[in-house]
């Protein structure tokens, strides 16, 4: 069952530099600033990647799930900064996926709602590390560690 959104699409677009068709977070359902975020993404049957992955048995590609989890992690950082700007000092506003150590446990299909969870672990200067997990219902789809690198928008 889908949860109620706690931030609008406009809030998401204000933080993430991504835009459709490469925006993979529909809404945020839970936020504990500086700690954990829960978000959702519906794998709509008309998504561009289902045309080729795989036409007779479409699956959400692992790289798309990883990107959705990276975007969710970026939202945790950005929404936390919005809640308490002094905790982040003069940190830059733009981040990139620097590393992903993922395990793909089961497939996700068209029509599934991916529940995306990211928990802040630690930072090393401009590198921020998150424990992440994607699930559909009670079934874990993917889990791992994502590192984001913060940088200037130059």
Q: Among all residues, which ones are annotated catalytic?
A: 53
Beta carbons within 8 Å of 56's beta carbon, 6+ residues apart: none
Taking the C-alpha atoms of residue 37 and residue 132, their distance in angstroms, rounded to an integer, is 10
Distance CA 95, CA 147 (A): 10
> CA-CA distance, 95 to 70, in Å (whole number)?
10
């Amino acid at each position: 069952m889908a949860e109620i959104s706690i931030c609008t699409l406009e809030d998401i677009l204000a933080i993430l530099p991504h835009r459709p068709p490469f925006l993979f977070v529909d809404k945020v359902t839970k936020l504990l600033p500086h700690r954990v975020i829960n978000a959702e993404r519906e794998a709509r049957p008309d998504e561009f990647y289902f045309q080729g992955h795989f036409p007779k048995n479409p699956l959400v590609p692992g790289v798309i799930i990883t990107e959705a989890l990276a975007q969710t992690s970026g939202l945790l950082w950005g929404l936390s900064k919005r809640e308490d700007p002094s905790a982040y000092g003069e940190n830059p506003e733009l981040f990139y996926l620097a590393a992903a150590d993922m395990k793909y446990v089961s497939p996700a299909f068209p029509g599934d709602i991916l529940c995306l969870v990211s928990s802040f672990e630690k930072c090393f200067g401009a590198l921020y590390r998150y424990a992440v997990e994607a699930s559909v219902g009670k079934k874990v789809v993917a889990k791992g560690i994502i590192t984001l690198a913060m940088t200037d928008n130059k």
